[in-house]
Structure 1
Amino acid sequence: MEVSLHAQEDSTTTHATSLVKRLRMAIMTGELAPGSKLRLDALREKLGLTISRSPLREALSRLGAEGLVLIEDNRGYRVTPVSQENLQEIAKLRVHSESLALREAIAKGDQAWLDGVCQAETTLREIKRSDQATAGRQEAWEHAHRDFHLKLLEGCDMPLLLNHCNTLHDLNDRYRRMFLARNPFDRDVNGEHAAIVAATRERNADLACALLAQHIQRTTQNICRSLTAQSLSAPG
């Protein structure tokens, strides 16, 4: 009986891990709208699931820990609403956390890390991105963009800090993805990335961190303007 119970727990965990990825993407792209209720049976139908509720509950609990889902006592689950206040908090935390990680990476990172950063920036730059891009190409850009930002910090060799930065990046990405779906691309983001990389290669931590902070803050300001203009904030 004990073996059977362990097998059941392992199966639940495996299903939950897969569900976390699917649900996270649905939330980040707005397929599951900000502030919307997440009813288990409705989610199972939407995702075409034939599994029990247990893996779904576990997946939603994990997303709750990431800040993408609200867990309400006796009322179930809800997608975390969007707001300027929430976005600005995320941005401030990103600036502080990523600046610390980048400063540590510049101090400790080896040549292999620097080469990886340069390669990630090149890969990102070579993917054409616009508001007219196909879904596949847009998703390729999103993947490369995330990889670049996280690769930039990896040299810090601080797993807890990196995990924190990853979570904040995902929270910020939800806003940026919704913003990009409704607005033309009018920034030289490639130039901003290249400037950050150049300062990083020169081991100029002050300049690299300042450029990274400006990059994050510029995106935040643009999204805040979009939130105001288009009333994207869902009721809390």
Structure 2
Amino acid sequence: MNISALSDPATSQSSATQIAHSKLRELILTGELAPGTKLKIDHLRKILGTGASPIREALSLLTSDQLVVRHEQRGFSAAATSSEDFAEILRLRCSLEGMALRQSMENKTDEWIESLVIIHHRMSRLQQSRSDDFEREHKNFHMALIGNCDSPLLLRFCNQLYDLNIRYRFIAGRSIDYKGRKVDDEHRIILDAVVAGDIDRAEDLLRSHYETTGAFLKAYIK
């Protein structure tokens, strides 16, 4: 480690901004900062235990993620939610992730397949144990499915859409009644189609997976 960097004000400011950005992002995604909530700097300073400048910079960064709205002369607020917004996110996810999955499978390698199998196994184990780490591994699995597409911009859009979608699921609540739906089985058959190299089936299964989840969430979105 470069010791001189520890006393560099610019480095310290950047680190504080990154920490504030990460914490605020989590609070908004999980609904702890509810949609439409006015994000007052003084209040956020107490929550995060950091200065006003890193918070302002973090809020500005979150506007590009569509999680925060800047109001001219009136500060910031957490982005609102709506059934129309959710429907658009769902359509875009199905379209863009379907495209990315096809490209990933066309670039199929043994290393990529092995990585997918390992991530799926780890995710399934965490789901069965009801671990708090499941959500992190769930995202890792979905991003790994499309991560072999050699299109950084497409992956960036897909990553952003995943977060916008997961926000709705957190807001709806973790205890949604899926009426006997076996989500782990859905993940497994998607993986099986990818391993088998059946591009059309894999894309159809991924789209169905998202649309089925979307149908459950719609009842909780206002």
Q: 1:165 aligns with which of 153, 158, 163?
A: 158
- Aligned residues between the structures: 217
Amino acid of the residue matched to residue 55 of structure 1? P
Q: Aligned pair 1:93/2:92, yes or no?
A: yes
CA distance in 2, matches of 1:126, 1:178: 25
SS of corresponding position for 2:213: helix
Deviation (angstroms), 1:188: 0.7
Structure 1 length as normaliser, TM-score? 0.86
Q: 1:143 aligns with which of 125, 136, 139?
A: 136
Deviation (angstroms), 1:226: 2.0
Amino acid of the residue matched to residue 111 of structure 2? A
SS of corresponding position for 1:35: coil
Q: Aligned pair 1:154/2:155, yes or no?
A: no
Q: More deviation in 173-182 or 139-148?
A: 173-182
The 8 Å contact of residues 93 and 161 in structure 2, kept in 1 or not, is answered as yes
SS of corresponding position for 1:127: helix
Q: More deviation in 178-187 or 156-165?
A: 178-187
CA distance in 2, matches of 1:112, 1:152: 13
CA RMSD of aligned residues (A): 2.0
CA distance in 2, matches of 1:129, 1:55: 38
For 1:119-198, list aligned pairs within 5 A: 119-128=118-127, 133=130, 137=131, 139-186=132-179, 187-198=181-192
CA distance in 1, matches of 2:171, 2:182: 19
Provide structure 2 residue ranges, at least 5 long, that are not aligned to the other structure. Answer: 1-7
Q: More deviation in 98-107 or 11-20?
A: 11-20
Q: Aligned pair 1:219/2:213, yes or no?
A: yes
Q: Which residue of 2 aligns with 1:4?
A: none
The 8 Å contact of residues 13 and 54 in structure 2, kept in 1 or not, is answered as yes
Q: Aligned pair 1:56/2:58, yes or no?
A: no
Q: Residues 129 and 61 of structure 1: is their aligned pair in 2 closer, same or farther, counting only changes over 3 Å?
A: farther
Q: Residues 70 and 88 of structure 1: is their aligned pair in 2 closer, same or farther, counting only changes over 3 Å?
A: same
The 8 Å contact of residues 33 and 78 in structure 2, kept in 1 or not, is answered as yes
Deviation (angstroms), 1:205: 1.0
1:184-204, Cα deviation, whole Å (9 max, x unpaired):
344211111111111111111
The 8 Å contact of residues 20 and 48 in structure 2, kept in 1 or not, is answered as no
Q: More deviation in 177-186 or 30-39?
A: 177-186
The 8 Å contact of residues 109 and 156 in structure 1, kept in 2 or not, is answered as no
CA distance in 1, matches of 2:73, 2:10: 25
| Aligned structure 1 segments of 4 or more residues deviating by more than 6 angstroms | none
SS of corresponding position for 1:70: strand
- Which structure ranks higher in relative contact order (CA pairs < 8 Å, sequence separation ≥ 6)? 1
Q: 2:196 aligns with which of 193, 202, 205?
A: 202
